[in-house]
Amino acid sequence: MTDITIGKSLHNSMVWNALNMLTTQVAGFLIFLIIAGRISPEIFGLVALSAVLADILMNEGRTAGMDAIIQENDFRPRSLNSAFYSLMAVAVVFALVLIVLAPYLANVQGKPLVAQFMPVFGILVLFVPWLSVMDALIMRNLNFKVMTQRNIISTIVGGGAGIAFAFSDWAIWALIIQRSVSMAVIVAFEFSYTRWHPGLAADRNVAAAIAKRFFPLWAIGAFNLLLHRIATFVFGLRYSAHVLGLLRAADRINESIQAPLISPLYSLWLPLMTRVRGDKAKEREIYVAIVRTAAFFAMPAFAGLFVVANDIVDLILPERYSDVASLMRALSIVSLSIPFVWFNTLAMNALDMNRTSLIFSVCSVSACIVALLLSRGVSPQEAILWTSAPALVMGIAGNIIIHRRLSLPHWEAYAGLLPAIIAAGAMALVTTYVRMELALWHPAIRLVACITLGGAIYFGWLALFNRRWLVERVDLLRGRAG
């Protein structure tokens, strides 16, 4: 049963996220390019600053709310109403704080537009409780098809609205309109599928139980997001809104690769681990399958992105974004740590180690923030690497905690990642050399040549030296036993 659960769930996740990549990610990236051609990097930076606090609830809070409802495992109307009102109490307080703080933060940062942008995000957080309940109704059965359909529609409609404003006299509002319309479309779509709306019947005890589950989960997610948000503030104050806008552009390109490859794995942890909780052998099997699959995708993708960053930027962005390439390379190096760092808190939560996960998150984020604050006098690229170094150290520590919990030998866990690491390293060395030899070629031709050669080297290496490992990954992705 477990083999079928892992294989089928991962297969469905990857299939629907592949469609998501071909539509949502491609469409979203094209929308980004069109809007980037109409507004300055500074506006990207100002929107990022304005959304720093709101995203803590809109992203991590929404996910924590969904997870709390799934963990409670009570989907009766009265229970869902209780969850909604419990989460809405948090959202209302958060929205009021954002609206009140907006003029003060704008004054501190010397950016008047922040005072106009932040209240909009404050209103958007009021959608979070409704979305948390509807997300839980959809994802309790891992219904990736519905989520993909939702993402496609919201991306296209929201992006169309953003583009329309980008070509109007209100171009500075393009990104705000894009996010607002996308949020409204998501709510409408999920309602059309679930037909759920809050009723008056509620249970105070259930509401308290949801809150008890929600706050630790939210704290864990918020601490992990906190590093990125503090980095946004520091970059905006230390370097300039222009540099922050370049960083956001680099982030957007990085996310366009990361999202379709890695996000399908994120959503599997809690539902799969909940089904097998207490069976250490099955928990270990799920952990190994997900982490090795992450290495299979992440290592070649981001090693390759490091090599061809300049060609991508030359081809798709205006000249004023040329410095994005160096930031992309720094982010690519950080992304190579995904199998070691990014799944620790998810795995701990799924293994019912919430307290350990919270302590681990606090320590990890604190170490990274200290490193960021100490990295004065360095370039933005160096600051990114400085900040990520403690995360890797803490990531290894988190791996050890999880390995012990699962009775998984450390050497076995890391040996299972070596095939992807070595193959990606060989790929990067050869394609770097080839790219230097093709320095006078057109960037588009050079990019296609490097990608084609890189793919052949990576998969060829695995087929020659780690065939069994490669077959295991392919079988798992095809929905067969892991």
**Whether the predicted pLDDT of 336 surpasses 70:** yes
State the average pLDDT over residues 14-33: 76
* Lowest-pLDDT range of 221-225, 359-363, 411-415: 221-225
State the average pLDDT over residues 415-437: 96
Which of 229, 256, 283 finishes a domain?
A: 256
263 within domain boundaries: no
* Lowest-pLDDT range of 82-91, 232-241, 326-335: 232-241
Same domain, 133 and 281: no
Confidence category of residue 252, pLDDT binned at 50, 70, 90: confident
For 264-313, write each residue's pLDDT tens digit. Answer: 787 777 767 766 767 888 889 889 989 999 999 999 999 999 999 999 99
Cα four-point dihedral sign 221, 88, 145, 249? negative
For 185-218, write each residue's pLDDT tens digit. Answer: 999 999 999 999 999 888 889 899 899 888 878 8
Same domain, 272 and 237: no
- Residue 333's domain spans which residues? 268-482
For 150-161, write each residue's pLDDT tens digit. Answer: 989 999 999 999
Confidence category of residue 229, pLDDT binned at 50, 70, 90: low
State the average pLDDT over residues 2-29: 68
* Lowest-pLDDT range of 231-245, 300-314, 318-332, 443-457: 231-245
15 within domain boundaries: yes
**Whether the predicted pLDDT of 4 surpasses 50:** no
437 within domain boundaries: yes
State the average pLDDT over residues 116-121: 90
Same domain, 222 and 322: no
Tokens 């190096």 -> residue: 333
Same domain, 275 and 410: yes
Say what the pTM is: 0.73
For 447-458, write each residue's pLDDT tens digit. Answer: 999 999 999 999
Same domain, 204 and 300: no
Give 456 or 241, the one with higher predicted confidence.
Answer: 456
409 within domain boundaries: yes
60 within domain boundaries: yes
Q: Give the whole-angstrom CA distance, residue 362 versus residue 372.
A: 15
Q: How many domains in the chain? A: 2
Which of 191, 222, 256 finishes a domain?
A: 256
